[in-house]
Amino acid sequence: MIFLLALTGFEIHSSFSLFGYETAVDLHNKAAWAFIILIIFAIFWHFTTGEWKQYIPTTENLRAQAEFYLFGIFRNAPHPTKKTLISKLNPLQRLVYLGLKVLIIPVMVVSGLLYMFYRYPQDGGIEIINVDNLEIIALIHTFGAFILLAFVIVHLYLITTGHTITSNLKAMITGWEELEEDDEEISKKEDNE
């Protein structure tokens, strides 16, 4: 879905031609609604399961984790953060995912909805909520798109840095992961992107 949004979004931005402009707009809007529904579900799950606590930022081990990605990983060093049922994310993940969830995604959703609906107040003549220019909305939306896409690239790459190349990928797609310590399957929720 995120790839569909990115492809159609950048086609609307005239970066390339793929689906055809009208189809691209159509797909982008439909995918946007589907994505918003997914986000609503995700927020619901976060709170009902209490998993939102996973994203509470921490500085503990932050440096070690960064050093692991920069150096340790090349020496086959062990992951500095142990995944447990209570804490599934390393401190870098916590920070980045939190930023994504409270900053980039809301910005994209709000600017996207404004993009879709900014015209209606004008037609109704409700002066106070008029948006006179699409430009600022469009630029914010474009900015978010670049950040999101960069995130996806790095995110998908870092998946290969798990216990084995594919172990984290499996976890992301199925939501299930084998934790080394307990040798026991424990449910782990991830964003289904």
Partner 1 sequence: MSSMKNFTKALTFFLAIIAPLLIVTIALRQPDNDRAMLEALKTKYLTEHQSGVDHGKMEILQQDFSNPHEITAACLSCHTERGHELLQSAHFTWEREAYIPGRGVTYLGKKNLLNNFCTGVQSNEGSCMKCHAGYGWSDKSFDFDNQFNIDCIVCHDNTGTYKKAGGGAGYPVMGENGPDFKKILASVGLPKSENCGSCHFTGGGGNNVKHGDLEMALLTAGRNVDVHMGVDGSNMNCVDCHTAENHVMKGRYYGVSSTNTQRMSCEECHTAFPHQKSILNEHSIKVACQTCHIPVYAKVNPTKMYWDWSTATRKKDGEGYENLDSMGNITYASIKGDFEWGTHVQPEYSWFNGTADHHLLTDKVDTTQPFLKINTLMGEYRDHNSKIIPVKVHRGRQPYDTENLTIIQAKLWDKEKGKGALWLDLEWERAIVEGMAYVGLPYSGKHDFVTTEMYLPINHMVSPASEVVSCKECHTPENGRLAALTDFYMPGRDRNFMLDFSGKMLLILSLIGVAVHAVIRIISARNIKSAQSH
Residues that bind partner 1 (CB under 8 A): 1, 12-14, 17, 20-22, 25-26, 29-30, 33-34, 37-38, 41, 69, 73-76, 119, 122-123, 125, 132-135, 138-139, 142-143, 145-147, 149-150, 153-154, 157, 160, 174-176, 185, 192
Cβ closer to partner 1: 176 or 180? 176
Q: How far is residue 81 CA from its own chain's centroid?
A: 22
* CA distance linking residue 55 with residue 36, whole number of Å: 20
CB 178, min distance to partner 1, A: 13
Any idea what DSSP says for residue 83? Answer: -
Where are any strands of DSSP class E within the chain? 176-179, 184-187
Nearer to partner 1, 52 or 143 (CB): 143
Q: Which distant-in-sequence residues (6+ apart) come within 8 Å of 124 by Cβ?
A: none
> How near is the Cβ of 105 to partner 1 at its closest, in Å?
16
Nearer to partner 1 by C-beta: 132 or 181? 132
Q: Taking the complex as a whole, how short is the minimal distance between the CB of residue 123 and partner 1, in angstroms? A: 5
Confirm if 25 and 9 have CB atoms less than 8 A apart.
no
Give least dist CB 145 to partner 1, A: 8
Going by the DSSP 8-state scheme, the letter that residue 179 receives in this structure is E
123 C-beta neighbours (distance < 10 Å), count: 7
Instruction: Considering the complex, state which of residue 64 and residue 116 has its C-beta at the smaller distance from partner 1.
Output: 116
The residue type at 86: I
Task: Quote the least distance from Cβ 175 to partner 1, whole Å.
Answer: 7
